[in-house]
Each structure stands twice: as C-alpha cells, then as structure tokens.
Structure 1
Amino acid sequence: MTDLKLIALDTEDLEVISAHLQDAVIRVADMGFARRDRRFALLMNRFDWAADKPRSRGVRKRAALHFSGVTHAAFAGFDPTAPDGVVELLAITFEPGEAPSGIVELRFAGGGTVRLSVDYLEARLADLGAAWAASARPNHALD
C-alpha cells in the first residue's frame, strides 16, 4: 500500500482530502491549535477507502493533517479537553471570506464541529506508515 500525501490550496483540493478522511477516528487529545505557529493539527486513524474491497472489513491507516494560517479555533458539540474523548470525522469544508481568508469546518458524527478561521487555505495530509485491518467497515444509514 502506498502512503497518501496530499496538499489542499483550494476548495476542490480540500474536497479530495475530505473524501479520503471520511470516517477517520480521532482522539480529542490528538488535535490542537498551536496559536504561536498559527497551525491546527490532528492525528487520526483513517479508513482507507481507496484500498477498500467488497465484503472486507477494510484497512485503517495512521495519518496526520494540519492547517496553516489559522488565527482562531472554535469547538462545539464535544469537550475539547476530554482526554479520552473520541470523534468520527464526516467532512471538511471551506467557506470563503474576504479572499483569501475564510472558515474551515471539520464536521463530526453526532453534531460536533471544529471551526478554524484561516488567513488562507492550506492543508496537508500525510499517512504515517502504520496500517492494520479495520475492526469494522464504516456503515451509514441513508435517509
């Protein structure tokens, strides 16, 4: 399996990263805002949709994602200080503001969100090498 390395500099790029990270599992303690560095980073166990095969449980990979140019981070719907908290990522979006600034929103199952005010859109995703058989394949009810 090839390790994934992606960069997003516009909305279309971010949509690709979001698709690869759908159903990633993140410990709340593994995400944070480094105010001085103007960076928000998180470690996760992502479900590798590209390697998924029918009737298999699939594969999870350890991955890191960070956003640059972050001026503010706001958390809602979960306790960002909960050391044992776990969230499941559903999607990442970008709402443009006065160009090139805007709001990056990370949406989690159960309604939690992280909203990042950014001076510009720059996100980098990289697999960290570790991969293992998933305990279950993500499954979503369709309305």
Structure 2
Amino acid sequence: MTEDARFEDAGPAPLRLRAMDAEDLQVISSLVQDAVFPATEMTWQRSQRRFAFLLNRFRWEDAAIGRAERVQSVLAVEDVLAVKSYGIERGEKDLVLSLLSISLEPGEDGTGRIVFWLAGDGAIAVDVEALEVSLRDVTRPYDAPSGKVPHHET
C-alpha cells in the first residue's frame, strides 16, 4: 500500500522556532538575515495583538554546503502594543523590503521594543508587552532566483 507524500517526510524539515528571550531572538535574527518580502505582506492584527510578515527567507542553515535556497516563512510577534515604521514608503504597492537583522530594546517589567532593521535605512519598531516571536517555514525550499548566497561587505 502506498501513501501520498507529505511535507514532513521530505528532508530537510521545516523550521519552527520561538524566541522568548534576547538570546533566542538573536538565533531567529540570524536565520532571517537577507529575507525579502513585499511591503504588502506585513500585517498588524490589532485585535489579536499580533504583527506578522510573510518572508522569502534565505536558508542560511544549508548555505555552508553550497545550497542557495529560499523558503517562505511566517515571522510573527505576539503581545503587540504598537507598530511604527521609519524610512518606508507605505503607499508604494510594489515595494520589496530586505530584512537585515532584528534587535531588542528591553523596557521595564518585561516590556520592550523589537526593531526589524531593513536595507536602505528603514526600520519597523514593534512595542511589545512581553517578548514572543515565532518563525515557521510554510513552503518547501526552492532554488534562490539569483542562485547565489547573499554577501555583505565588512
């Protein structure tokens, strides 16, 4: 008897991570470096206190073995109090953003500000009541259109 193929049976397994402290957030930040996404793929669900992106994430975990792949992932922030953006033309529907890193500015009593740093001096600041960020792959990996590993000048 044969069964249909399932996503879970394919190698490699999709990422499913959660950051509950600054150290965890740095792991997620390293995995989403150079992710690209249309500005239209950001959403703030105010009533659910959730802010999320649908990213095309570069798969850094396989870059060391010569693969240049991307995967669509959902990056979500919970317990959101406010969202602000800087240096982004919000009315531009074809705008594609590139995520460089994520940082945490701790506040009092577990509150804080998560800053998503973008290429071109843009940023998205998300004020949170408590730190909870998740990263979840939602598609199979695919070959990066450029066929290359992103490179940064130091």
TM-score range, shorter chain: over 0.9
Aligned residue identity for 1:68: E
Match of 1:140 in 2: 152
- Post-superposition shift, 1:79? 1.7
Match of 1:8 in 2: 19
Residues 52-97 of structure 1 show CA distances to partners (whole Å, capped at 9, x for unaligned) of 146x461101100100000100011112332211111010011110
Q: Which runs of 4+ in 1 moved over 4 A?
A: none
After superposition, where does 1:1-143 map in structure 2 within 5 Å? 1-53=12-64, 56=66, 58-134=68-144, 135=146, 136-142=148-154
How high is the TM-score relative to the length of structure 1? 0.94
Q: Structure 1 stretch 78-87 or stretch 68-77: which is displaced more?
A: 78-87
RMSD of equivalent CA atoms:
1.2
Residue 110 of structure 2: SS of its match in structure 1? Answer: coil
Match of 2:9 in 1: none
Work out whether residues 40 and 68 of structure 1, in 8 Å CA contact, stay in contact via their aligned partners in 2.
Answer: yes
Q: Give structure 2 stretches of 5+ with no counterpart.
A: 1-11
- Post-superposition shift, 1:130? 2.5
Aligned residue identity for 2:114: V
Residue 24 of structure 2: SS of its match in structure 1? Answer: helix
- d(CA) in 2 for partners of 1:78 and 1:23? 17
- d(CA) in 2 for partners of 1:32 and 1:93? 19
Work out whether residues 63 and 126 of structure 1, in 8 Å CA contact, stay in contact via their aligned partners in 2.
Answer: yes
- d(CA) in 1 for partners of 2:118 and 2:67? 22
